[in-house]
Amino acid sequence: MEILAFGVQADEKPLIERAFQGHHEVRCLDVFLNEDTAPIAAGYEVVSTSVNAELGHRVLEVLAAGGTRMIAQRSTGFNNIDLKVAERLGMTVARVSYYSPYSVAEFAWTLAMAVNRRIVRASTRTRDFDFRLDGLMGRDLRGRTAGVLGTGKIGEAFTRIAHGFGMRLLGWDVAENPACMELGMKYVPKEELLAESDLVTLHVPLMPETRHLIDAAALKVMRDDAILVNSSRGGLVDTAALVDELRAGRFAGVGLDVYEAEAGLFFLDKSLEAVEDDTLARLVTFPNVLVTSHQAYYTEDAVAQIVDATVKNVLDYKAGRRSENVLVPRS
């Protein structure tokens, strides 16, 4: 059986090909799965997708009509897949429920430190041999407060780093994490966390109830000199409201690895095209904002774990086995 993998990055391709070797053949494409590219999958029983694939009812119906019976998504998130339609069409859907939480937690800290210490501005200056310190002053984080929204595996990893910095720890989640509490974390209501935190970081999944978790009201509760980091899902933040607050001169720094309208933008080269997204275009002009292209997970360790789990998901599907990764079981 040959598997078709959409949205494969150049660094990812050899890992995928090596992992499937001896099991199944795999064809890797750098294009992303959407309504225009879905017909390419005709004749492929198994299709592997990335987090930015569009798997609404139209795409799923095209895939099913072409003979696809399994979607193996190479990510933890699955908000891009219409699971009810997949079930109706008799399609098995699996994801990667776990990979290195340190990859994302460490990158979230990279964003926080970069905006706090003005690293991008400093680097740009020194490349022009401008060695002034004006506008580069940051703050010690030791003794300040870190607010962690979502204290699962990634949130816990972030919390351990914050503890190492000597920060006061506040948490918010539907369930308290004993490991975080052992580090001294205090769980408080979201509004209290936002009001008291010098650094706010998001590590919750995107669901209907968490969409725009950080909305206009939440942003106004935050401190004017706070740092906001989102390395989870773009839809957690109301970007238009964030731009309004930034325009008013608020926040010491904002680090975003995700963006709510990133589909069709992130992972692609748009440098020679006119920017049609006015919100994103405005966002990247602020000197205290750093936007990266959904790369927090992108380490050798994490990608290798994602690929290995994807291979296992396909083998389980062929053998009729079910694991914790299965979102829609084989009918």
Give me the active site residues, please: 233, 262, 294
Q: For residue 53, what is the DSSP state?
A: -
Using CA atoms, how far apart are residues 29 and 40, in angstroms rounded to an integer? 10
Chain centroid to CA 326:
20
Q: Give one DSSP letter per residue of 223-245, joined into a string.
A: -TT-EEEE-S-GGGB-HHHHHHH
Structure tokens at 93: 């859907």
Identify the sign of the CA torsion 214, 216, 222, 226: positive
Amino acid at 160: R
- Could you give the CA distance from residue 118 to residue 138 in angstroms, rounded to a whole number? 7
Q: HSE (CB half, 13 Å, CA atoms) of 8?
A: 19
Terminus-to-terminus CA distance in the chain, angstroms?
19
Structure tokens at 138: 């940051």
Structure tokens belonging to residue 153: 């595996």
Residue with tokens 């974390």: 185
How many C-beta atoms surround the C-beta of residue 143 within 10 A? 10
Report the alpha-carbon distance of residue 194 to residue 53 in Å, rounded. Answer: 32
Starting at the earlier edge strand, list the strands of the sheet with 199-202.
186-187, 168-172, 145-149, 199-202, 227-230, 253-256, 289-291
The tokens for 204 are 């919750």
| Whole-number Å distance between alpha carbons of 203 and 156 | 9
